[in-house]
């Protein structure tokens, strides 16, 4: 398919996955504001901002033991991550960018996909933080996550299984792998700053990935940070696990084929396979999980760049020499 079409579908999928991921984090965070300790709320904001590599608008997230301060601060932080137009990684910006890519590629997606995505965007377009905060902010995030998951279901049910579908799935898999890696790194770093392990911090991470029941069946009700990392990184039966995302990226690249330049696409597929092997084979024997996650994160960025160079921005041969 045309490189422009493939690129549009790839980025549409990435932006929508990013918006959904951030909404799940913010849903958990706003639910915690009701009755959780201030320390846990502070940890949640530190984890979120660390995972998106963004400086909070309030400056450093210093822990001040005050309920009033925490709630006021949370209002500002939620606004920055949800509706701030100048933040390219906010929920509003990601939905707008995802919709714009879909609009330009309407000939490549089903009418049902466009209708659902457009309705989601129109619902959020004119909202501000005060519109959701005075009622139930967690309900807004839950509804947006539900609409994102419905969009994925509509795409699976209606989209033609050509290369366009492959690039949609590839974008989602790479984005999910990067988001998971960055969140796990942020979780580790925030825990090290806290200098003490709290079960609630790791339980919330399991809840984010719908993995608490799976963890309880595989291990026990006692939460161990190392076992949580093992589950979220290496369990292929967990929909949001790191290994599942990387295996999916490798499978989609194999299905897409050689592309305009076979040598470049071979390198792309080799890197995808190496990434999957790091989690499936190197992880169990690794003594430094944080270092391995950083390596996986670097390779994910390299994979994205190779995909871009191989399928979207590849050099065009000079036809005058033919």
Q: What is the pLDDT of residue 318?
A: 40
Q: Where are the domains of the chain?
A: 1-160, 161-315
What letter does residue 311 receive in the DSSP assignment?
Answer: I
Q: What is the pLDDT of residue 302?
A: 96
Q: What is the pLDDT along the chain (322 residues), one digit of tens a residue?
A: 889 999 999 999 999 999 999 999 999 999 998 888 888 888 999 999 999 999 988 766 665 555 554 655 899 999 999 999 999 999 999 999 999 999 999 999 999 999 999 999 999 999 999 999 988 999 999 999 999 999 999 999 999 999 999 999 999 999 999 999 999 999 999 888 766 678 889 999 999 999 999 999 999 888 999 999 999 999 999 999 999 999 999 999 999 976 655 556 788 999 999 999 999 999 988 889 999 999 999 999 999 999 999 999 877 664 343 3
- Contacts of 96 by beta carbon, 8 Å cutoff, 6+ apart: 121, 125
pTM of the predicted protein model: 0.93
- Contacts of 322 by beta carbon, 8 Å cutoff, 6+ apart: none
- Distance of alpha carbon 307 from alpha carbon 305, whole angstroms: 5
Q: pLDDT (tens digit, 9 = 90+) per residue, 142-158?
A: 999 999 999 999 999 99
CB of 166 closer than 8 Å to CB of 255:
yes
- Contacts of 220 by beta carbon, 8 Å cutoff, 6+ apart: none
| Listed residue (9, 5, 1, 13) closest to 177, CA to CA | 13
Q: pLDDT (tens digit, 9 = 90+) per residue, 163-209?
A: 999 999 999 999 999 999 999 999 999 888 766 678 889 999 999 99
DSSP H helical segments within the chain, as ranges?
3-35, 38-52, 67-82, 91-104, 111-125, 129-133, 137-158, 163-194, 199-208, 212-218, 225-234, 242-256, 262-277, 289-307
- Contacts of 153 by beta carbon, 8 Å cutoff, 6+ apart: none
N-term to C-term CA, the chain: 23
- Return the exposure string of 169-200: e unless at least 16 CB atoms fall within 10 Å of the residue's CB, then b: bbbbbbbbbbbbbbbbbbbbebbeeeeeebee
Torsion angle, alpha carbons of 294, 297, 298, 303, to 10: 160
């Amino acid at each position: 398919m045309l490189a422009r079409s493939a690129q549009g579908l790839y980025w549409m999928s990435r932006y929508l996955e990013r918006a959904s991921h951030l909404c799940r984090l913010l849903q958990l965070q706003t639910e915690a504001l009701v009755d959780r300790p201030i320390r846990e709320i502070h940890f949640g904001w530190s984890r979120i901002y660390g995972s998106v590599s963004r400086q909070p608008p309030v400056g450093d997230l210093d822990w001040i033991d005050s309920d009033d301060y925490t709630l006021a601060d949370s209002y500002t932080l939620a606004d920055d991550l949800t509706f701030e137009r100048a933040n390219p990684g906010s929920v509003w910006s990601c939905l707008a960018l995802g919709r714009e890519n879909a609009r330009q590629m309407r000939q490549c997606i089903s009418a049902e996909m466009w209708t659902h995505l457009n309705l989601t965007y129109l619902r959020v377009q004119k909202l501000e933080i005060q519109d959701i905060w005075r009622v139930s902010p967690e309900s807004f995030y839950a509804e947006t996550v539900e609409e994102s998951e419905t969009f994925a279901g509509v795409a699976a049910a209606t989209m033609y299984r050509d290369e366009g579908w492959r690039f949609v799935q590839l974008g989602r898999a790479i984005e999910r792998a990067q988001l998971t890696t960055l969140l796990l790194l942020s979780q580790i770093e925030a825990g090290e700053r806290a200098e003490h392990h709290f079960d609630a911090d790791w339980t919330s991470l399991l809840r984010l990935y719908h993995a608490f029941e799976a963890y309880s069946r595989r291990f026990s009700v006692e939460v161990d940070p190392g076992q949580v990392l093992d589950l979220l990184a290496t369990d292929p039966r967990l929909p949001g696990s790191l290994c599942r995302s990387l295996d999916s990226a490798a499978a989609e690249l194999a299905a897409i084929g050689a592309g305009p330049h076979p040598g470049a696409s071979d390198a792309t597929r080799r890197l995808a396979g190496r990434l999957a092997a790091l989690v499936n084979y190197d992880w169990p024997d690794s003594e430094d999980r944080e270092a391995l996650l950083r390596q996986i994160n670097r390779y994910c960025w390299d994979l994205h760049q190779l995909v871009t160079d191989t399928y979207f921005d590849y050099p065009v041969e000079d036809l005058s020499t033919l």
